[in-house]
Amino acid sequence: MPLLKGFRGKKGAKTIKVIVIVLAIAFVGGLLYTGSVVMREPAGDHYGVIAVVNGKNINRDSFEQGYRNALLAEYEYTGRVLPENIGPIRISLLNQFIDTILITEAARKEKIRISSKEVDEEFKLQEEAFPSKEEFQEALAANNITAAQFKSLIKERLTIQKLFNQIQAGVTISEDEVKKAYTEETGAPAEGEEFDKQRSEIEMRLKAQAGQNELSAWLEGLRNEANIELRDAELRALVKIKEKDYDEAIAEYNSAISLDPENPYLYVGVAQAYMAKDNLKQATEALEKAVSLRPEDPYMRLLLGLAYRDGDSHELAAHEFKVASEYGGLDILLHVRLESLLKTVGNDEDVRNQQTKIKEIRELLEKSNSAAVTEEQVNN
């Protein structure tokens, strides 16, 4: 999988709609990545350092750039970014930044070296992943990154990969482990021709998993020994939610809201904390504020509608679901879900109207897909 990825239009259209450069390393069930994109504009008090890891700063501008990259990736993958997923995305990104610092420190301690030749070879591979050198250069320029800067990122990636390989070097899988896995998976004794055919694949799979486990344990050790200070109230709130300390999470969210009162996602976050405490009244009030800040967001309307439904305010819930449908565009999954919800709180006419909308959307999507296929056939 190339590290440089140009996102294109559907069905391989030749025109590049959006180009995002992502330097990525898959490890321990996550991604480390660095990118350059347009960051969101936080309140004035939000600039500066959001965390300090072993004396090294995580700057807000870099974090927000990474956040936008993560949102783009989520949207490319799912076609939507749910408001209730914003918090998990941000805390996941924070963990990636922290892990990057700890892993980079470890690589320096191990004195791992990457030659210019290795960097140049990888750079060439990334360049060749594009149809032409010109498009590659356009991708770099679109993301405000120079070739020299990208080479520096490549060097960091190769350094970390070499460190990972070093950590995993001692991982071995015994014959007994292979036999046990085969028997558990097939129910047959680990012997004979069929076992011999699968032995190599099972051993490779077990070794890969053992390597991931080794990395996980190693990284957990780094985290346990690290001195991590969070200076951002929202991120502290997200950590508290993960720890199920909901009172502290609410306090931290309120601190974040005092600094950035126009951020609707903070209200969604505090609503989630109130929900975890079974405080539906406060959760609903927080969601009402979130919707007032982003009234055209169908998923915020959906969340508010669910809160009203849970509070037996069916008329208010039906209203929010219908408004969500108005703003839902061609998101067929959303509309199908709204149909199901309207059956529980709306009247027969509401349900029929939603079913009609779903039918229209499906017809539009079928026409769009058919046109895209025809265009592709013509271009080929």
Q: Which of 151, 167, 183 is the last residue of a domain?
A: 167
User: 79 falls in which pLDDT band (50, 70, 90)?
Assistant: confident
- Structure confidence by residue, pLDDT tens digits, 108-153: 999 999 999 999 999 999 899 899 999 998 888 887 788 999 998 8
Phi-psi region of 284 (alpha: psi -120 to 50; beta: other; left: phi over 0): alpha
In a domain, 97, yes or no: yes
Q: Which amino acid is at 133?
A: K
Task: Give me the mean pLDDT over the 49-67 stretch.
Answer: 92
Same domain? 50 vs 163? yes
pLDDT attached to residue 373: 65
- Structure confidence by residue, pLDDT tens digits, 234-260: 999 999 999 999 999 999 999 999 999
In a domain, 253, yes or no: no
In a domain, 272, yes or no: no
pLDDT surpasses 80 at 81? yes
In a domain, 308, yes or no: no
pLDDT attached to residue 65: 86
Same domain? 99 vs 15? yes
Q: Angle at CA 39, nearest 5°, toward 37 and 40?
A: 150
Same domain? 163 vs 179? no
Residue 187: domain span: 174-221
In a domain, 254, yes or no: no
pLDDT attached to residue 379: 67
Cα separation values, 152 from 27, 58, 116, 159, Å: 20, 19, 10, 11
pLDDT attached to residue 66: 87
Rounded Cα distance, 308 and 301, in Å: 10
pLDDT surpasses 80 at 4? no
User: 25 falls in which pLDDT band (50, 70, 90)?
Assistant: very low
More confident residue, 246 or 374: 246
More confident residue, 7 or 66: 66
pLDDT surpasses 60 at 46? no
pLDDT attached to residue 376: 66
pLDDT attached to residue 227: 96
For tokens 């939000």, what's the residue? 46
User: How much is the CA Rg of the chain, to the nearest whole Å?
Assistant: 25
Same domain? 75 vs 195? no
DSSP 319-353: HHHHHHHHT-TT-HHHHHHHHHHHHHHS-HHHHHH
| Burial of 260: CB neighbours in 10 Å, binned 0-12, 13-18, 19+ | middle
Same domain? 150 vs 181? no
- Structure confidence by residue, pLDDT tens digits, 189-209: 999 999 999 999 999 999 999
User: 188 falls in which pLDDT band (50, 70, 90)?
Assistant: very high
pLDDT surpasses 90 at 320? yes
In a domain, 22, yes or no: yes
Q: Are 275 and 244 in contact (CB under 8 A)?
A: no
pLDDT attached to residue 153: 87
pLDDT attached to residue 100: 87
- Structure confidence by residue, pLDDT tens digits, 225-235: 999 999 999 99
Phi, psi of 173 (to 5 degrees): -125, 130
pLDDT surpasses 60 at 14? no
Rounded Cα distance, 287 and 269, in Å: 9
Rounded Cα distance, 19 and 143, in Å: 8
Other residues' Cβ atoms within 10 Å of the Cβ of residue 70: 22
Same domain? 32 vs 74? yes
Same domain? 217 vs 118? no
pLDDT attached to residue 18: 23
User: 32 falls in which pLDDT band (50, 70, 90)?
Assistant: very low
- Copy the structure tokens of residue 281: 């009244």
pLDDT surpasses 90 at 23? no
pLDDT surpasses 60 at 37? no
Same domain? 148 vs 61? yes
Rounded Cα distance, 277 and 71, in Å: 28
Buried b (16+ CB within 10 A) or exposed e, 89-126: bbbebbebbbbbbbbbbbbeeeebebeeeebeebbeeb
Alpha helices for the chain (secondary structure H): 60-78, 86-109, 116-128, 133-142, 147-168, 175-186, 192-225, 233-242, 246-259, 264-276, 280-293, 298-310, 314-326, 332-345, 348-379
In a domain, 98, yes or no: yes
Same domain? 25 vs 126? yes
CA-based nearest residue to 184, from 202, 204, 211, 208: 202
Same domain? 77 vs 191? no
pLDDT surpasses 80 at 36? no
pLDDT attached to residue 141: 86
In a domain, 230, yes or no: no
Task: Give me the mean pLDDT over the 20-41 stretch.
Answer: 31
Q: Are strands 18-21 and 23-27 parallel, antiparallel or unpaired?
A: unpaired
Tell me the average pLDDT of the chain. Answer: 85
- Provide CB contacts within 8 A for 11, sequence distance 6+: 372, 373, 375, 376
pLDDT attached to residue 80: 85
Same domain? 89 vs 145? yes
Task: Give me the mean pLDDT over the 352-374 stretch.
Answer: 87
More confident residue, 372 or 28: 372
Q: What is the CATH number of the domain that holds 158?
A: 1.10.4030.10
User: 372 falls in which pLDDT band (50, 70, 90)?
Assistant: low
Phi, psi of 364 (to 5 degrees): -65, -45
Same domain? 187 vs 158? no
228 has which bridge partners? 53
Task: Give me the mean pLDDT over the 62-85 stretch.
Answer: 87
Structurally, the chain folds into a number of domains equal to 3
The proportion of the chain whose per-residue pLDDT surpasses 70, expressed as a percent, equals 85
pLDDT attached to residue 378: 65
